[in-house]
Structures are given as structure tokens and as C-alpha cells.
Structure 1
């Protein structure tokens, strides 16, 4: 196997990017185990030898593909929206934005996130690499809350519990998983719990 190299020239960078893009598409379409490096090469339009000059194995491509996805412009743009309040801040509007952000992520990337979640359960290396997905989102929310004077002890730990409620709202809004649950009532109850919890020490 040739040494793994970091591309420097534009043509080489573009070739590596094609491999990452092809791998990401195939992982989302048919899963990690059903995807082969031969399929990735075919879709990327490159030779097997070229693939192994940039990546040591399929797992290496998987990690690169999902790192690119999680740290990409789209995801960062969604996170930036959490702190972009031109109007007067309110906890309700902030929570609305949190739900909206997660809904948009699931709507556009559900297959990708499902595949990543599956692989995290099966591979410790991948779990270690991507366990920060929720941490990235939660850290952005905690920073935004602190910037708007929502200050309480153990805010990161408290927001972890809040995140679970927000994630539940986003998934229910998008997928309507429970016929017996009215979304607007669920949202009102969740917001009541969250505000009582986060604002308890605000007076």
C-alpha cells in the first residue's frame, strides 16, 4: 500500500474531494457495510490506486466524509442562526430557533445522521471521533444563552437535559411519530418545563 499523502495541488485536492463526496453519498444510500471502495472509485471516477494514495481504508473515507459533513458550511450556518437575534431576545423565540435548526438538520440530512449513529454504535473509533456532534450543538446553545444573560449554575449540564426535549420536539414536528400527541400541546408543555428549569434562579 502506498504512503498516504496530503494533496497540495488543485487537481489532487479535487480528486480527494471527489472521493469524499462519492463515499458520503454511497454511505447514506446503502450503508457502510454494503459500500465498497470499488463502488466509491467508480462513482468518483478515479482508480483504486489513486484512492489508496489518499485514504488507508474505507473507514478512513467514512471519517473524512462525515467530518466534512458535520464541519461544513451548511451545518455551521445553521449553528450561527442560534446567536443571530436582531430583535429583542426572548426564551420562546430562542427555543423556536433551536427546534427549527434541528428540524432543518434532520430534514436535509436524516439518512446521513442515521448512518453515522449506526456506525457509532458498532465502532468505538468512530464513536470517539463523532461523539461531539451533540456537544457542538449544545455548546453553541449554551454560549448563546449566556450571551443573553441566561445565567445559572451548571448551565451545560442543564442544557443537556433541555436538548433532549428540543430534539424530541424537532423529531415529532418533522416525522409525526405519535398519532396520539398534539404537537402544539407538546411544544407548550416542553417550553413550560424548560423555562421553569432554566429561569428558576432568574427571579
Structure 2
């Protein structure tokens, strides 16, 4: 999903994704992080997974900008030097966390659509359940999402990752529509998939990240009605 909240302050926008924010000397960062290793042994794999898990927890709790490599290493129970053996800097583990989260989000969307397509529920109820599932998928990383939108403004890697997630989401939506073309009012399925995904993107983000600014129940009901009228005779 696209990440909203571009209203963060301009001062936050100017902060970079590098570990220069960590307060560590540049030389210490570069020498330790020149060649992060890919673990081959079980112990190394477990250490790397512990670092990723710790980073995920801290980004969710404190946000990206208030987390540094020392925090992540301490939460993972490893030394800072060990952290830099596996990741070049905070941005590297951030991208890893984002990739995992994006895959889980897209995977959950695909599983939900498959389950709903097999169900005997009416179309409107299916849409309501899909909306609920997508909103719940965002609950873990609310603060994470708020900062991500700002960070992506100046970071091409993040922009590319978000675009890949958008493409994957649209592809899943298209796959869902292609399973029942004869039951749909729409004729251009690719355009319909893009329109539906982008609509979910904006509305679900608003419900998940700014529920105080909207009537969530009414918005969900109207979104379900709109999509049913658009798709089905």
C-alpha cells in the first residue's frame, strides 16, 4: 500500500536514511560494513534473523528516525560489531524489514482474495471482510508507515520498493478479476485492477493511519457498496 502522512515536518524530511544519524564515527561504520557477510551456518542465520526481528520491533515501537544500530544490536542481544557483520548500516536492515513486511502484506491480500472467491458469502460481505483484513494488516507498523512516506521522498531505493509492492498488489487484484470475467460489468480488467487497488490504497491507509479524521465505519460501508456497484451487475 502507498504510505501516507506527507505532512511530517520539513526538518524530518531532510534527515537521511544513513547511519550518520546513529552518532557513530563514519570510519567505524565504513570499515565494519564494507562487506557484510551472508551467513552459511545455523548460528549465523539465527543471528541475522534476530537482528531483523529486533529491527522490526524497534521500528514499530520507536520509528525509524528514533532507532539506531546500537539499539537494534542491544535488542537482538549481539554486539554492534556483529550487527555490522551482517548489515552495512541501519538503512540496509530497514530495507530488509520493509521487504519482509511488503511480502507479508501482499501475501495476505492474495490469500484473503482466494478465500473470499471460494466462499458462499454475498459480494458486499466479501468486500467488507477484505477491507477489514487490509486495515488490520497495517496495525503493527503504524508509526513505521508514517515515517516511510517521508523517507521515500528522497530515497530512490525506497521508491522502487514501494512501486514493486504496488505492481504486485495490482497483479493480485487482476488475477482475482480474471477468475470471473463473465460475472463482471467491467471490460478492461487491467484498468479495473489498477483502479481498485489504488482506491483501496488510499482509503484503507486513511482508515488505518488516521481513524480520528474519518468515520471509519461509514467509509468502509460506502467503499464496499461502491466496489460492488462498479464490478457486479
Q: Same fold (TM over 0.5)?
A: yes
The residue correspondences of 1:3-22 to structure 2 (distance < 5 A) are: 3-22=35-54
Residue number among 167, 170, 173 corresponding to 1:141 in the alignment:
173
- The structural deviation recorded for 1:173 is 7.9
Q: How many residues align?
A: 196
Residues 54 and 187 (structure 1 numbering): CA distance in 2 closer, same or farther, change over 3 Å?
A: closer
Is 1:160 aligned to 2:194, yes or no?
yes
Deviations 1:126-175 (A, max 9, x none): 11123233333332222122213355443233233333443426744882
- Measure, in 1, the Cα distance between the counterparts of 2:109 and 2:192: 22
- The structural deviation recorded for 1:182 is 7.9
Is 1:32 aligned to 2:68, yes or no?
no
- Measure, in 1, the Cα distance between the counterparts of 2:43 and 2:174: 41
77-86 or 17-26: which moved more?
Answer: 77-86
TM-score for the superposition, normalised by structure 2:
0.70
Is 1:57 aligned to 2:86, yes or no?
no
- The structural deviation recorded for 1:88 is 3.2
The residue correspondences of 1:40-119 to structure 2 (distance < 5 A) are: 40-72=72-104, 76-85=107-116, 86-88=118-120, 90-119=122-151
Answer yes or no: is the 8 Å Cα contact 2:69–2:90 preserved in 1. Answer: yes
- Measure, in 2, the Cα distance between the counterparts of 1:38 and 1:170: 31
Q: Work out which structure has the larger RCO, using CA pairs closer than 8 Å and 6 or more positions apart in sequence.
A: 2
Deviations 1:88-131 (A, max 9, x none): 36432332232122111123332333333332223121111232
Residues 172 and 24 (structure 1 numbering): CA distance in 2 closer, same or farther, change over 3 Å?
A: closer
Residue number among 177, 181, 193 corresponding to 2:213 in the alignment:
177
- Measure, in 1, the Cα distance between the counterparts of 2:60 and 2:137: 15
TM-score for the superposition, normalised by structure 1:
0.79
Residues 41 and 194 (structure 1 numbering): CA distance in 2 closer, same or farther, change over 3 Å?
A: same
| Unaligned runs of at least 5 residues, structure 1 | none
The CA RMSD over aligned residues, in Å, is 2.9
- Measure, in 1, the Cα distance between the counterparts of 2:231 and 2:119: 21
- Measure, in 1, the Cα distance between the counterparts of 2:208 and 2:39: 43
- The structural deviation recorded for 1:20 is 1.0
